Each structure stands twice: as structure tokens, then as C-alpha cells.
Structure 1
Amino acid sequence: MAETADGDEADLDAFLEKFRGAQRYEGALSPTNWEQEFDQIPMFMKKAPSEIDPKQNPDLACLQSIIFDEEQTLEGNYRSALNDAIAARKLKPNHLKAITRGALCHLELKHFLEAMTWCEEGLRIDPKEKTLLETRTKADRLKRTEERDLRKAKLQEKREQSQKDALLKAIKDRNIKLSPASSKEDTAVSEGFAEMSLDGLGPESAVNAKVCLDENASLTWPVLFLYPEHGQTDFISAFHEGSRFIDHLTVMFEELPPWDVERKYLPSELELYFEDEERAEIYQIDTETTLLKALQHQRYFVKAGTPTFLVLVKLAPFSKNYFFGKKVHQLK
């Protein structure tokens, strides 16, 4: 008997050991990260993720689908109930229960004016009907809130449109040209200026950067510098039109970047160019000039709302190779 008892105890220890070591049961929570893993279980989540990937969270995606279907079903039920109420009133116009149910359905469907109308019709039958009185009050409050929000949205839209129109006028008054590829019609030009942004350009700091008209009626632009020799870029989110290029280059290269292993990107040794894509030509810009003057060049076209310039080193072998076979308009 003793041997049997010892054997059973050994079997039990071996069984329990599976749950202590690497052979823990499938789906077990990690001893070190169990709280984080626990929060990933849909039933115990404190906050649902903003986006649900069905592959990563199939259970949560399934629940979301069920909730959506229930919401759709709920709305369908209200519409079905409303149709029943309408049908009942055709048979008996003063059917108070049908009127009350119809008013509630209109309220849930956000038909606030219709809900108030049904309540008024019911209250002419029974002026003290509590549900109709409460529903009318709630519908009236929600209707006023909806109208207020609509007024605010229209006012904001009008304000934004006014700002866009002022911005467009400021750009046109300065004889700054938009890229022909983006301006097939005057309407397209207006929309192009209004929606100038750098979404998806690349650098994180560039996202949502736009040309702006400040309180002093001056323009600030997002500007991109390209260093073709090293495949690098620099981005200035707010380049004032009255600022000189050399001032920005001096700050940017106060400390030489790690990719400039030859230490040749000194502000005094840099040259600035822009490319005329339509003619496949390159123009040099004086680094002492302002952004506004550069943008007013007869062959400069702002593309995607982002003035872009090439930065090269004077007399560098790469520069000579880069310009080979291209028509370059050097400064005189």
C-alpha cells in the first residue's frame, strides 16, 4: 500500500510540474506579464482599441460586428414600430397608445420635430399624459441642441472658407504660382491652395504642415531641403517668407550632420537650386535671398504646397556629375 501511495504522489507531482515549467497549459497567462495579457481579453478590457485588427483580435472584432448588427437591428425595430403606429392611426386616428409609441420611435430615430408633432396631437386628446409631456420636452431640447450644433458647424465652415480665401488672395497677390499639374481649372487651384498639406510626405514633422497667413498678413511656408548627394532631407515647418535661406542654413549646419563625414557642408560653401520639371531645367538661387523672392521667380511653381530646394556643395565632384547633361541656369 505504501508503494502505491508513493507512486500516486509522484504522479501528482509530475502532473503539477507541467504547469510550473515550460509545459504550462495552452493559453496560460504569463507569470510576469499577466496583467497586460489580462487587459487584452475582450471581456476584461478597460478600454477598447481605436482600431481593431481582425487578425490580431478576432474575438474583439467578432464582438464589434455583433454590436453593430444589434445597433442596426435596433434602428430597424424602431422603424418597424413606427410603421405599426402609423398603420394603427389610420384605423383609429385618436389611438393614444399608438400616438405615444410613434412619438417615442420618432425620438429614438432623431426625428425631433416629428416627435414633437406627435406629442402635440396626443396631448390634445389627453393634456396630462406624462409620457407625451416628457417626450415633447426631451425632443424640444434635443432639437434645439441639434440646431445649435448645426449653426456652429456652418459658422466654423464659413470662418475656415474666409481664411482660405484670404490665403489664396495673399498668394495670388504675390505672384506665386502653383504647379500646373495641380491647377487644371480655377476651382482646382482654389482647392489646391486650400488643401495644401504634407500628409504622407515622409518626415513625421511634415504631417499637417501648411502654408499660413499670420496676423501681420505675412506668409509662412513648409519648406523641404533635399541633399541628393547623401539622400537626406531637412524640413522647416514654418519658413517665414521674409527670411533668408542663409539664415536657416547657418542654424541647420551649426553642427555638421553625422552623414557629412567629409565635413564639407559649411553654410558658406553651399549652393541652392530648384528644378523646373516642365522644362527639365535647373535654376540656382542666391542663398542671401528671401523665400518670397525665390517663390516669385518666373519659373518657380509651388508643388503640393511645399516649396522644395536642392542643396549642393560648391565645386564638389558630385555636383558636377549631378548637373551633367542638364541645363543649369547659374547665378551671374
Structure 2
Amino acid sequence: MTDCAAALKLNPKNVKALFRSAKALAALEMYAEAIDCCEHALINDPDNKAVREEQKRIQAEFDIKEAKRKAREERERKIREQKLKIESALEKRGIKTASTPGYTKNHPHDIQVHDETGDISVPTFILYPEHNESDFVQAFHEHDTIGEQLAEIFYEPAPWDSQHKYRPEKVDIYFETEDAGGNVGLMKVGLKVKLITILKHQKHILKDQLARLIVVPKEDSQWKKDWLAKYGK
């Protein structure tokens, strides 16, 4: 670039220097300047095929990078827009949220805000701690009841449920609570309770944009005894 600049200073119409400058500028992704060098070279030598081909190559490279830039910006715009829409929907409903320490989103599903109604659907983990198993509901609609969702999940027995204890009418459902002092507990809910009722509960915190429900058999179990002894009812 230094040699080219010196040559152009001596002779601004030096086609070879303009050609070399164009290639060097393109390598630095200074496409507008590179194309300008080609145009000046072609003014002085309109039939120079090498310069014309280089101009086409630079323009094509610029067009590709520009298209990628615009696509990236559009994706980022949509992400920001979606984030604001979700935050607004949660705030409107008075749903408390938090991120756990070190949280980085590692699931591909967002809270959905339905354009037609403004309703939300929330990604939800259904946890079965007695078996160390879980189900993931991608979009649990806020106005669906716990019973409706469990009826769908338990339509066929899970492979690990050999005793068929996991039916809507045979289980207890809990969600985790946390008070202002950080004390954690469990609250039992019935099958007719809607998800939104849980989400809006004063002691419920939606962590990492995921709802969590704990499901255990009504029948007595050591896990249930230990859990309730620790957290209380």
C-alpha cells in the first residue's frame, strides 16, 4: 500500500498502482475504496480486463458480506424485539423472574407471545424426582390447567412407570416457592389450576424463562417424606 500510494502520488493515473491498491484495500475489507480505485483505473484504461475482473470480484465479495451483515442485523433486531415483547408480557402479568448464577440459555425455546391474543406459552419442565426423570413441554399455554397438560403427558404410561402410579388422579403436583428472605418451599396445586395462576403467585419466581412443576405419586414414598420434611408443605 505504501508503494502504491507513492506511485499514485507521482502519477494519479498509474493503472498498475491503482490495481494493486484495489487488491490491497479489498483484503482489508475497504470495499468502497477498492472499487473506487478500479473505477479510476478503468477511466484511464477502459479495456483493462484484469482491472475489470478484479472490480467484479471485489463487488461480488462486498455484496456477499453486505448481505450477511444485513441478515445478521435483522436477526439481532428480531431477537431484541422478541425479548422486549416477552419482558412486557411478563411485567404486565406481574410475573416475577430471575436468572440463576452462571445461567446461559441452553435450550432452544423461548416464551411465546401469541400475536392474535397476547397470551403467552411458557417452556415447562415436569419433574419426577422419585425416578430422576422429567418431561419438557415446549409451550405450556398460560390458560391450560395442570390436569389438561398431565392428561396429555400421561396418555400412555412412561417406560419407567411400571406400576402405573403416574396418572393425573394419582399424583400430587407442587411448585417451588421463594419468599423475600430467600427461603425456599413447596406449594401443592390441584389439577384444575391454570399455569398462569402459578406464574402470578406472589412466591413463585420464573427462573431462566422456564416453569417447573414437581410431580410425585399420592402414595407414600420415602422421597416425598424427605422432600416435605426439608421444604415443608
TM-score (norm 2): 0.82
Query: Hey, what does 2:24 align to over in structure 1?
Result: 105
Q: CA deviation at 1:251?
A: 2.5
Larger fraction in strand:
2
Say whether the 8 Å CA contact 1:280–1:327 is kept in structure 2: no
Matched, 1:302 2:206: yes
Q: Give 2:156's match in structure 1, choosing from 255, 258, 269.
A: 255
Deviating above 6 A after TM superposition, structure 1's stretches of 4 or more consecutive aligned residues are: none
Query: Hey, what does 1:50 align to over in structure 2?
Result: none
> Which 5+ residue runs of structure 2 have no aligned equivalent?
none
- SS of the equivalent of 1:230 reads coil
Q: Give 2:190's match in structure 1, choosing from 282, 286, 297.
A: 286
- SS of the equivalent of 1:324 reads helix
Equivalent runs, 1:176-255 vs 2, <5 Å: 176-179=95-98, 181=100, 197=105, 199=106, 207-216=107-116, 217-255=118-156
Calculate percent identity across the aligned residue pairs.
27
Matched, 1:320 2:220: no
- Kindly provide the amino acid, as one letter, of the partner of residue 160 in structure 1: I
Q: CA deviation at 1:126?
A: 3.4
- The structure number with the bigger radius of gyration is 1
Say whether the 8 Å CA contact 1:123–1:129 is kept in structure 2: yes
Q: Distance in 2 between matches of 1:84 and 1:124?
A: 21
CA RMSD of the aligned region, Å? 2.7
**Higher RCO (Cα < 8 Å, 6 or more apart):** 2
- SS of the equivalent of 2:84 reads helix
Q: Distance in 2 between matches of 1:265 and 1:309?
A: 14
Equivalent runs, 1:1-332 vs 2, <5 Å: 82-140=1-59, 142-144=61-63, 146-179=65-98, 181=100, 197=105, 199=106, 207-216=107-116, 217-277=118-178, 278-318=182-222, 319-328=224-233
> Which 5+ residue runs of structure 1 have no aligned equivalent?
1-81, 183-191, 200-206
Say whether the 8 Å CA contact 2:113–2:120 is kept in structure 1: yes
Q: Distance in 1 between matches of 2:159 and 2:64?
A: 57
Say whether the 8 Å CA contact 2:122–2:211 is kept in structure 1: yes
TM-score (norm 1): 0.60
Q: Which moved more, 1:99-108 or 1:292-301?
A: 99-108
- Kindly provide the amino acid, as one letter, of the partner of residue 111 in structure 1: M
With over 3 angstroms needed to count, the CA separation of the structure-2 counterparts of 1:266 and 1:109, relative to structure 1, is: same
Say whether the 8 Å CA contact 1:107–1:135 is kept in structure 2: no
- SS of the equivalent of 1:85 reads helix
Q: Which moved more, 1:258-267 or 1:238-247?
A: 258-267
Q: Which moved more, 1:263-272 or 1:130-139?
A: 130-139
Q: CA deviation at 1:230?
A: 1.8
Larger fraction in helix:
1
Say whether the 8 Å CA contact 1:113–1:139 is kept in structure 2: no
Q: Distance in 2 between matches of 1:145 and 1:258?
A: 51
- SS of the equivalent of 1:272 reads strand
- SS of the equivalent of 1:275 reads strand
Say whether the 8 Å CA contact 1:223–1:307 is kept in structure 2: yes
Q: CA deviation at 1:124?
A: 4.3
- SS of the equivalent of 2:89 reads helix
Q: CA deviation at 1:108?
A: 4.5
With over 3 angstroms needed to count, the CA separation of the structure-2 counterparts of 1:92 and 1:174, relative to structure 1, is: same
